[in-house]
Amino acid sequence: MTRLEVRNIDRELIRRYLREEKRGEGEAESVAGEGWLVRFVTGEPVKIGQIRVPVLFIEVEGEREEEVARFLRLKTMRGGG
């Protein structure tokens, strides 16, 4: 199992990426496709000063785990500044 941590990214956006680009299916807390399963786990928000930033863990399993985890890393990468 590969576990990714993302901050301030909506799970619906990630779910849409998986459905549209990896032909996944599923609702609520998981999306599955041929050879992979992704589960969403809500983490404790991180407090930065007065701002609370949502944390989401993405767990990837299956025979295509590495491929899907790499895809998600690229799709959730955000520039700073």
Structural domain harbouring 38: 2-76
Q: How confident is the model at residue 78 (pLDDT cuts 50, 70, 90)?
A: confident
pLDDT value at 17 more than 60: yes
| Reported pTM | 0.90
Is the Cβ–Cβ distance between 45 and 53 less than 8 Å? yes
- CATH number of the domain at 60, please: 3.30.1370.80
Does 54 map to a domain?
Answer: yes
Least Cα distance to 56 among 72, 40, 69 occurs for: 40
Does 49 map to a domain?
Answer: yes
Phi, psi of 57 (to 5 degrees): -100, 140
| pLDDT attached to residue 45 | 96
| pLDDT attached to residue 81 | 54
